[in-house]
Amino acid sequence: VGGEQISSIGRGLCVLLGISLEDTQRELEHMVRKILNLRVFEDESGKHWSKSVMDKQYEVLCVSQFTLQCILKGNKPDYHMAMPTEQAESFYNNFLEQLRKAYKPELIKDGKFGAYMQVHIQNDGPVTIELESPAATVDPKQLTKLEKQQQRKEKTRTKVPSESSRERNVPRNKDDPSASSGAEGDVSSEREP
């Protein structure tokens, strides 16, 4: 920060934490549990994905990164889903406190909240894992307009057109004897596949 090294760790986890407008104590507790118990390290015999940061007594470096809450509007990032700075700082400090209570406080390091930081990560593998707290049941009335639009887009992407809708999208030739307006009944058996 400002040309000065304020924190560093040896072997362990670098946690880039994006805090959402909707995050609560429940999400905070879930993330603390997941981060400390995530089995990403090898055991003594070299077996991968066997040990957690706590099992290995490794360090954790936390960096608050609101840009993880970015939603793209075209090519422009929009951060309206990120928790506002005043609330987010308190949430982040609470997150660090919970990590320290659940593990060894001297092994939990952090950056400087809200500061422009140069973060140097030597990613072993590289391994990057995205953790999300479990989705809470959301009342449709509480969804924002943007979220509703995204849900509609996702539903649209997952729909597979039925045979009849594919046929409707094929331009009809007036001279084609098998073409039908649908008024004469089903003529699909007359068409070649």
pLDDT at 189 over 50: no
Residues labelled as active-site residues? 67
Q: Which tokens belong to 59?
A: 């360090």
User: Strand 76-78 vs strand 108-110: parallel, antiparallel, or unpaired?
Assistant: unpaired
pLDDT at 92 over 50: yes
Tens-digit pLDDT profile for residues 39-58:
999 999 999 999 999 999 99
Domains and CATH numbers, the chain: 10-131 (3.50.80.10)
Global pTM reads 0.69
Range ranked top by mean pLDDT from 56-70, 120-134, 158-172, 173-187: 56-70
Residue 122 to residue 176: CA distance in whole angstroms:
66
Look at residues 40, 2, 16 and name the one whose alpha carbon lies nearest to residue 127: 40
Q: How far is CA 24 from CA 2, 88, 90, 180, in A?
A: 32, 11, 12, 58
Q: Which tokens belong to 56?
A: 């290995």
